[in-house]
Structure 1
Amino acid sequence: MKLLNRDEARKLDTLAMNTYGLPEAVLMENAGASVVALTEGDVSWKDARVVILCGSGNNGGDGFVTARYASLAEADVVVFLMGDESHMSDASRMYYQVCEKMVIPVRKIKKAEEAQPFLDDADIIVDALIGTGLRQGVSGEKADLIDRANASRAVRIAVDIPSGLICDSGQAEGAVIHADYTVTMGTLKRAHILYPGNEYCGSVKVSPIGIPGGAADEFPAEWVTAADVKPLIPVRTRISHKGSNGYLGIIAGSQGMAGAGLLAAQGALYAGAGKISLFTPQSPAEELTGLLPEIMVRPASTYGEFRGEDVEDVLSGTDACDVLAIGPGLGRKQETQDFVCQVLEESEGPIIVDADALYAVAAKKFPLRSCGGQLILTPHVGEFARLTGKSATEIEQHRIDMAASYARENQVILVLKGAPTVTAAPDGRIAVNSTGNPGMASGGMGDTLTGIIAALCGQGLDVWESAVLGVYLHGLAGDIQAERHTVGFTASDVARTVPTARERLLGAD
């Protein structure tokens, strides 16, 4: 499903009208009708006292149509209009007049307190005040009206987006409707899935409102669901063998940080890698040997960490590998940074770059475009802040656009981890992940993800497919764990659940 910003949402409506010939009034009719139709399984409209809050924009027009359908569903409806009537479109004005002809009360108000007695008695409040065009926080009487609606005991249904949310960032800079349900038109908007916007939307229901699916094809961002990634799952034949399922080389670990490499290897193992070699310095190698017998632990440095002089031996050892992963637990010593940059510069094929390898890329200002391999970078927000020089706050507010820009400018696949994780490609594709939960906010989860993505690369997926499917499977495994315990499961638990997640995904409709 497409995931649109404010300008794209407006353009989609324009395409529907100009390219497909759908009149604005038809789109508005379908939008208002769907508010009742898509919620009637959860909300009882019959005999309900319904208050509909309308603004003077097209969101308000949707509200006038909703009033008619609510009335036809035998609800007791009253509409409050707050806004400059001169700004109403012809379609909005027409549906306003339809309400008048149906003797549905439409009360024009300037003060929020005028609606208070009705809000107190309401069973359902429909929010059609503002819509997706908002650029800054709501204040004044509209903010007061929003606050009063939030204080009501009624079920709140937002039309397209809760009033007060900034569509592109999901930020709440002033008063915002706390919706129990949001019925969005055409397709999802960014505020529906970005934090904190997703906290205000309640259950989101999507109404296509008659817009043909192809109308949104030009927009790059996708909300990734099971249907999108199920076809990507590698399917093994009866003649598969370990060599045909990828030989992975994981370059990880240092003295005191042995476990990070093992977590990455474990993620790769449970994601189906054929063979895995963990290249790590001598001291962590001694700690790890035999802990996971399926992993070949290769001592690759006589020091407690990797240094530039180890590059030749490591690359010689990884020469037979189909995929490399580098970074977990490497440490941040100057010598290790030099080692990382040399490995990236001289390696070919897919390389997953994570953790301390990302630190080295940022510290050394390594020119990613000059790398011979196909890079997948997997930073969390803090690591991405170091790579870009931007603040964590700025990144969280613009994570989709910033991920897309970085991938394009540096010609890499960028997996920006977080809520939600955004995967971006150099060609402009953007995948926003729909799985994962707060219980996954614990140490080692990123290392496990690195191994999962590497394993999928080794099984024949390209770097884009490996990243998108890997992120989804990792999150789904976490969601399966959260069904048992919302907090307290580990990265190892998630790794061991990947086969179950894969089976569940294969069985999804």
Structure 2
Amino acid sequence: VCILMCASFYYGGGLVSESGPAEAAHCVFVVDHSGLKLARTLNTLTLFISSVFERFYGLGSTSHRGMEDDILPLVKNIVPPLTSKKHKGQDGRIGIIGGCQDYTGAPYFAAISALKVGADLSHVFCTKDAAVVIKSYSPELIVHPVLDSPNAVEEIEKWLPRLHGLVVGPGLGREDLLLKTVIEKSKARDIPIVIDADGLWLVTQQPSVIQGYQKGILTPNFMEFTRLYEALPMDSSDYQRSVMQLSVAMGNLTLVLKGEQDFITDGSKVYSCNLEGSGRRCGGQGDLLSGSMGVLAHWAHAVPGPDNMNPSVVAAFGACSLTRQCNSQAFQRHGRSTTTSDMIQEISSAFKKLFES
């Protein structure tokens, strides 16, 4: 009989331990000789996850510090002033690619969050059977029931010249060919692209679809990060920091690793956003994050900033901070009953507190 000890990590939507691998809970598997092959496979996976954790939690203090005092002022600088001289759409027209029969909440949360943060118009490109449901959530969203049509790419492409940013993945399903084509055409128009949820699945299958695109942002949880890490040929001896290593392997793409702290990097530095949120982890928070990030990415790339600061990193840090602040405020009101809808109601006051005070 062989006893296999393997670490079990859980935090939010992915595998993680709040205090690192040393404090992770352990479970014991007892297998006979016929189960050794499975045991070895599980052990290999455990060792891989543990090694990633060691690199992740072993980041030097010089590379991942709480950077609120340094970066939040940069986020404030990208927020456009509200004046009567502007026309509708000037502060942002954001497109959300996602939404199917089973998943209508995710694209709604992303789209309405984009509006609440300050975008003027928010479009949702979804399947036909999701469109009526999403429209019923809010009359403020522009909903296009095109994803399952034979000419879906053409229908989306004709709107791209009018969009300032794209969020790909919330509630989408794994439509690889459609996603790849839309991302390629969006890159050709040089607009910011935030990829989350099912959109990340495509990246694990075809990293080149977004590799090296400096206006691209990936927002994985730990499980999604692990899949991305496995998908790329990387020599861990070249870099001490797994988060930075993945970003570099992706052509210095901006990467947001969500967790107890959010780690943000473009391959040059790792920034941590550890603004206090709460212990409540309800579904949809990542959609609030991606929707707000789509708007902030447009704003960040539209105004000149410091030469040594990547606009995508500024946008990502701002969105992470805002999501955490919304979570904290909603939890103070609702406690264990907090939902993403409660968090969205906090966007206005949280935004003012962080970026307009």
Provide TM-score, normalisation by structure 2. 0.72
Aligned to 2:71: 228
Residue 235 of structure 1: how far off its partner (Å)? 4.1
Counterparts of 1:257 and 1:237, CA distance in 2 = 34
- Work out which structure has the larger RCO, using CA pairs closer than 8 Å and 6 or more positions apart in sequence: 2
**1:220–1:254 Cα change, 3 Å:** same
**1:316 equivalenced with 2:161 (yes/no):** no
Residue 486 of structure 1: how far off its partner (Å)? 3.4
Q: Determine which structure has more spread, i.e. the larger CA radius of gyration.
A: 1
Counterparts of 1:473 and 1:503, CA distance in 2 = 10
Aligned to 2:45: none
Counterparts of 2:90 and 2:313, CA distance in 1 = 20
Residue 350 of structure 1: how far off its partner (Å)? 0.5
Aligned to 1:480: 329
Contact 2:278–2:327 (CA under 8 A) maintained in structure 1: no
Contact 1:223–1:431 (CA under 8 A) maintained in structure 2: yes
Counterparts of 1:498 and 1:296, CA distance in 2 = 21
**1:249 equivalenced with 2:95 (yes/no):** yes
Counterparts of 2:290 and 2:179, CA distance in 1 = 16
Q: Which runs of 4+ in 1 moved over 4 A?
A: none
Q: Secondary structure at the match of 1:419?
A: coil
Letter in 1 for 2:182: V
Residue 286 of structure 1: how far off its partner (Å)? 1.8
Of 258-267 and 281-290, deviating more is 281-290
Contact 1:439–1:488 (CA under 8 A) maintained in structure 2: no
The equivalences for 1:12-23 within 5 A come to none
Counterparts of 2:286 and 2:134, CA distance in 1 = 19
Aligned to 1:293: 139
The equivalences for 1:119-134 within 5 A come to none
Aligned to 1:422: 263
**1:405 equivalenced with 2:254 (yes/no):** no
Letter in 2 for 1:444: G
Residue 242 of structure 1: how far off its partner (Å)? 3.1
Contact 1:252–1:280 (CA under 8 A) maintained in structure 2: yes
Aligned to 2:167: 325
Aligned to 2:182: 343
Letter in 1 for 2:177: D
Aligned to 1:267: 113
Contact 1:266–1:492 (CA under 8 A) maintained in structure 2: no
Contact 1:341–1:366 (CA under 8 A) maintained in structure 2: no
Give RMSD over aligned pairs.
3.0
Contact 2:101–2:130 (CA under 8 A) maintained in structure 1: yes
Aligned to 1:446: 286
Counterparts of 1:331 and 1:301, CA distance in 2 = 11
**1:502–1:226 Cα change, 3 Å:** farther
Residue 328 of structure 1: how far off its partner (Å)? 0.6
Contact 2:183–2:209 (CA under 8 A) maintained in structure 1: no
Q: Secondary structure at the match of 2:198?
A: helix
Aligned to 2:347: 498
Residue 227 of structure 1: how far off its partner (Å)? 5.9
Aligned to 1:277: 123
Q: Secondary structure at the match of 1:459?
A: helix
Aligned to 2:49: none
Deviations 1:172-229 (Å, cap 9, x if unpaired)?
479xxxxxxxxxxxxxxxxxxx98x9xxxxxxxxxxxxxxxxxx9x944331225630
Aligned to 1:150: none
Letter in 2 for 1:338: L
Q: Secondary structure at the match of 1:289?
A: helix
**1:295–1:257 Cα change, 3 Å:** same
Aligned to 1:27: none
Deviations 1:428-459 (Å, cap 9, x if unpaired)?
13210122434341211111110010111233
* Unmatched 5+ stretches in structure 2: 1-18, 25-55, 232-239, 302-310
Residue 231 of structure 1: how far off its partner (Å)? 4.1
Counterparts of 2:193 and 2:277, CA distance in 1 = 27
**1:172–1:278 Cα change, 3 Å:** same
The equivalences for 1:94-243 within 5 A come to 171-172=21-22, 219-225=62-68, 228-233=71-76, 234-238=79-83, 239-243=85-89
Counterparts of 1:173 and 1:439, CA distance in 2 = 18
Contact 1:226–1:505 (CA under 8 A) maintained in structure 2: no
Q: Secondary structure at the match of 1:352?
A: strand
Contact 2:221–2:259 (CA under 8 A) maintained in structure 1: yes
* Unmatched 5+ stretches in structure 1: 1-168, 175-193, 198-215, 391-399
Aligned to 2:197: 355
Residue 425 of structure 1: how far off its partner (Å)? 1.0
**1:436–1:429 Cα change, 3 Å:** same
Counterparts of 1:459 and 1:295, CA distance in 2 = 20
